[in-house]
Amino acid sequence: MRRAVPVSELPVGIEQLLTIAALDAAFLEHVAADPVAAAAARGIRLDEAEVALLRNATPALLRQMAERLVVPKTIGRGTFMKAVAASIVAMVTGKAFLLCSGCTGADTFESEGGTGRQQWVTYDGHTCYLYVPKQVDADASMPAPIMVALHGEGETCLSNVQRWAQTADNYGFILLSVNWTEEATSDAGVDKLVQALASLATMGLEGRMPSGRFLCSRGTATPLAYRSGLVVHPLAWDGVVMLGGVPDGDWVNQPAQASEGISDDPPAVYYVSGDADPDFQQAKACVARLNELDVVCGHQIVSGETSAAILEFASIWLWLVQHKR
Amino acid sequence: MSADVTLVNLNMLFVRYVDRAEREIHLPLGPLYVAAALERAGLEVDFRDYQSCDARELLSEASIGGFLEGAADILFVSCMANLLPFTVLALRRYRAANPDAFIALGGVGPASIERPLLEAFPWIDAIAVGEGERTSVALARAVKEARKSGSNPIDLSAVPGIVWRRGGEIVSNPRPPRIEQLDGEPLPAWHLLDLSRYRGMNMISSRGCPYPCTFCSVAPIWGRRPLLRSADSIAAEMASLHELCGAELFLFQDEYFVSSAARVKEVCRAIRGLGFPARWKAFGRIDLTDPATMQEMAEAGCVEIRYGVESGCAEVLSRTRKGFTPEQALDVLSLAVGIFPGVDAFYMWGFPFEDRGQFQQTLLHMIAARAMGVRILPSLLALLPQTTIYEELKGSARLEFCPELFPEYMLTGCEVCDGGRMRIADEHCEVYDLVASHPELFPGFFHVDVEHNILPKYRLLQKFGFYSSEGRTELLGSDIDCCGAHSP
Ligand code: B12
Ligand code: SF4
């Protein structure tokens, strides 16, 4: 009975504006003061009807709308595969506008496990989703390990929570899932992000010193994790987990070139590949090269694609802790 | 022995698209309560639910004619405003074939226009007003007695809550008092149905809503006076349905489920005590659902809450006497999204007094709520005769008939929805001719100022994906089990 249009045709400028404002306090002020100028500043295209709606709204209302977009705790969020959020996901993969779909709840999984505190936070201008297990939260003065996680394409920050929350609860580490897709659109953006990841790890969170620093990537984020963990800031990390994907370069034909710049003292790497991953041969060649270079590397090959595999995150965590430098 | 009364349910959901028809079979609660009361009074009921009729062309006079074949000589029919014109025509045909039958209408469709309906359609003998349990029993008994004793014309002056014909005169009898102890009433007469065919396990935890919203057609029907069932009787009803047909999902269809935090708590306690994992949906009210109440509901299995937000404009909310602000609505929806797996918000648009700026505020509200994850259910204002808003407009506003754009409250199932356009097949024209010639009886099908009030707003809603438009037909939020008590 209720029918609507294919999402790609919807004007979604308002949703984009509100969503970013929800995650960025400074931008929120800009939106409240002049939503049309704020949109232009972020490259958000507004349709003329959207301009009319925004001009007709009071600053207080716009502020409230943005603030209420962030839902504090998700229960059964999976049912909200929303058209608009989906459109934002679609744009993530395209070039038009980059925003982590998780920020608007487009994720399709039920948030399982995880009784810890979870919330959107902004660190140094980067939008992140923070997960702090209860026992860690109980004593803010205790150092705790931190896992910085980068989601893959088509995933959201919440995907990392689904992945790691249970293990984080059991072993007491903080999880910080970074919305990286928005930033990593240019080389300069990637450099900035790599820098930010390292400082996130070293500075600690919420005034707490990290007792271990780990970086995890999934799929398309793997080149970024490799670059941060093994090339640019190896000392910032105690271990790196790469779930699928391959670091940049032609590892099969030009392994030496691909591994150029790798640090002399890299952290241990736990690498998962699926024998049906499209880049499986590259992944195998990459592992072979890392072994040649004496990088401590655990390679788990799963059957089928990595994205479909059921992984034992507790074992991955224990491996990391064992091989921590 | 043939039954004393044939009771026909014509409350149903039926929408036709070019390529398919969507039907969803719901328990017809009102008629089932009436049937239970009749049976308790010792009357035999032949219950016929038109929802379960398998005819291909459901809304044709021939199909309903066939469906009514062999009915008892007392025929009771229940319908909503959308199918009232179809029902009236079907009964004309029935009367022609059954000149001696006693034909009475009941339910929300004819509410508040009983007298003009009887004036216009002489083949209807009586119309029941409001709560049907006492009225139906008294009416059936009186007709049965009169038939037995051969008295003609039948004297119905002692039957409470009916409008009827005494010779050429139309008489309104006083209504019976409301049923104060709902727990004392029998449960709906489910045994008269094949429950396995029903998807929507409707229930009500209360009757009536005390609020004065001017566009609402539900609250006036119950005299704006709510009466509540006890928590234990509600849970017992769920348990019975579970036992009878394995139901685990229940739809609370009453608009005052969240009457108070204490009462919701009680109901949730009783539901949690059921020996099976019940899931349920209910209507909320923005200013009656605090976070603790919502949490309580979710923990007791409430998987979807539905709010009548109605407007994103403070002046419109105030003028329609809704009783909360757009800001309150945003706060509550946001909380609800974090608590319930599903949150619906009904929005009403097309108020004749709503200017462009006010409508834009509503549209923006809808967009913001949608971005939160709320399912948005827009409804074009239906000027139903029970509503205060219609009372106020009656006489002064020019009502325009625009079959291309019926309010969703008035969709009958005769229309074909085709990429946002509505088409009506020739065979159904009689129904619409009847509607067009009786705006005073069927005002819900009419609009005020289509060109300036309705169409520009409609186009904007289409643009933002709240309605389909030509060439854009993707389904979004396609669940059809909704019927907004908080909209007209
Ligand atoms: C459940 C429901 C549905 C269900 C189930 C209907 C069914 N099979 O019974 C479904 C989902 C099918 C449905 C659909 C629609 N619904 Co609806 N629905 C309701 C709802 C929420 C509850 C009905 C109910 O069970 N009430 C409880 C029972 C106990 O009350 P009752 O039915 O009124 O019955 C009592 C009396 O009326 C009387 N009575 C009833 N029949 C008879 C017959 C006789 C002979 C007698 C003597 C007495 C009598 O006695 C009963 C017991 O006291 C009401 C709102 C409400 N809270 O009432 C809207 C409501 C009935 N629906 C309404 C509408 C408009 C629709 C739709 C037409 C449009 C829409 N978009 O929603 C659609 C159908 C669309 C389509 N194209 O097909 C309107 C009707 C307005 C009107 N004046 O007619 C209402 C009032 C909601 C509203 N917002 O205004 N609906
Ligand atoms: S719209 Fe909802 S709250 Fe208002 S009177 Fe009707 S049922 Fe009650």
Q: Which ligand is nearest to the CA of B483?
A: 1
Instruction: Tell me the backbone φ, ψ of residue B6, rounded to 5 degrees.
Output: -100, 125
> Ligand 2 pocket, B306 CB below 6 A?
no
Compute and round to an integer the Cα radius of gyration of chain A: 20
Predicted confidence at residue B479, as pLDDT, reads: 39
Q: Measured between alpha carbons, how far is B15 from B422 in angstroms, rounded to an integer?
A: 11
Q: Measured between alpha carbons, how far is B73 from B204 in angstroms, rounded to an integer?
A: 31
Strand partners, A302: A274
Q: What DSSP assignment string belongs to B257-289?
A: TTS-HHHHHHHHHHHHTSSS--EEEEEE-GGG-
Q: Measured between alpha carbons, how far is B27 from B247 in angstroms, rounded to an integer?
A: 12
Predicted confidence at residue A158, as pLDDT, reads: 75
> Ligand 1 pocket, B81 CB below 6 A?
yes
Cα-based distances in Å from B389 to B348, B350, B436: 13, 12, 20
Give pLDDT tens digits for A33-72: 999 999 988 778 899 999 999 999 999 999 999 988 864 4
ipTM surpassing 0.95: no
Predicted confidence at residue B261, as pLDDT, reads: 96
B208 Cα: distance to centroid of ligand 2 (angstroms): 9
Predicted confidence at residue B86, as pLDDT, reads: 95
Residue A304 Cα, gap to closest chain B Cα (Å): 32
Joined together, the tokens standing for residue B216 give 């609402």
Q: What DSSP assignment string belongs to A63-119?
A: HHHHHHHS-SS-SSGGG---HHHHHHHHHHHSSS----GGGGT---S---S--SEEE
Question: Is some CB atom of chain A closer than 8 A to the CB atom of B417?
Answer: yes
Which distant-in-sequence residues (6+ apart) come within 8 Å of A200 by Cβ? A123, A124, A126, A128, A148, A176, A178
Residue B75 Cα, gap to closest chain A Cα (Å): 31
Find chain A residues with C-beta within 8 A of B481's C-beta. Answer: none
Q: Measured between alpha carbons, how far is A298 from A296 in angstroms, rounded to an integer?
A: 7
| Numbers of helices and strands, H then E, in chain B | 14, 21
Percent share of chain A, pLDDT over 90: 47
CB B383 within 8 A of CB B446: yes
Give pLDDT tens digits for A70-129: 644 333 332 232 333 433 332 322 222 223 333 333 333 334 446 888 777 777 777 778
Q: Measured between alpha carbons, how far is A259 from A239 in angstroms, rounded to an integer?
A: 18
> Ligand 2 pocket, B285 CB below 6 A?
yes
User: How remote is the C-alpha of A76 from its chain's centroid?
Assistant: 21
Residue nearest ligand 2's atom 1 by CA:
B486
Residue the block writes with tokens 């329609």? B320
Joined together, the tokens standing for residue A274 give 């699926």
Q: Which of B360, B373, B477 sits opposite A52 (nearest CB)?
A: B360
Predicted confidence at residue B486, as pLDDT, reads: 52
Judged by CB atoms closer than 8 Å, whether chains meet at A68 and B330 is answered as yes
B207 Cα: distance to centroid of ligand 2 (angstroms): 12
Question: Is some CB atom of chain A closer than 8 A to the CB atom of B23?
Answer: no
CB B38 within 8 A of CB B5: yes
Predicted confidence at residue A308, as pLDDT, reads: 84
Q: How confident is the model at residue A157 (pLDDT cuts 50, 70, 90)?
A: confident
Find chain B residues with C-beta within 8 A of A54's C-beta. Answer: 364
Amino acid identity for residue A23 in this structure: L
Residue the block writes with tokens 């009236």? B88
From chain B residues 272-311, the ones with a CB under 8 A of any chain A CB are 298, 303
Instruction: Tell me the backbone φ, ψ of residue A181, rounded to 5 degrees.
Output: -65, -30
Structural element, H or E, at residue B418:
strand B415-418
First to last CA, chain B: 42
The answer to whether the peptide bond before residue B153 is cis (omega within 30 degrees of 0) is yes
Give pLDDT tens digits for A179-213: 887 667 777 878 888 888 888 777 777 778 888 99
Torsion of CA B335, B336, B337, B341, to 10 degrees: 150
Q: How confident is the model at residue A307 (pLDDT cuts 50, 70, 90)?
A: confident
Which distant-in-sequence residues (6+ apart) come within 8 Å of B38 by Cβ? B4, B5, B7, B45, B136, B137, B140
Judged by CB atoms closer than 8 Å, whether chains meet at B472 and A11 is answered as no
> Ligand 2 pocket, B213 CB below 6 A?
yes
Predicted confidence at residue A182, as pLDDT, reads: 65
Cα-based distances in Å from A230 to A226, A269, A295, B198, B419: 5, 9, 9, 61, 55
Find chain B residues with C-beta within 8 A of A23's C-beta. Answer: none
B453 Cα: distance to centroid of ligand 2 (angstroms): 24
First to last CA, chain A: 60
With the most atoms of ligand 1 within 8 angstroms of its CB, the residue from B51, B117, B185, B483 to mutate is B483
Question: Is some CB atom of chain A closer than 8 A to the CB atom of B331?
Answer: yes
> Ligand 2 pocket, B438 CB below 6 A?
no
Instruction: Tell me the backbone φ, ψ of residue B78, rounded to 5 degrees.
Output: -120, 130
Interface contacts (A, B; CB < 8 Å): 131
B416 Cα: distance to centroid of ligand 1 (angstroms): 22
Q: Which ranges constitute the DSSP H helices of B277-415?
A: 291-299, 314-319, 326-339, 356-372, 388-393
Low-confidence ranges of chain B (pLDDT < 50): 471-482, 487-488
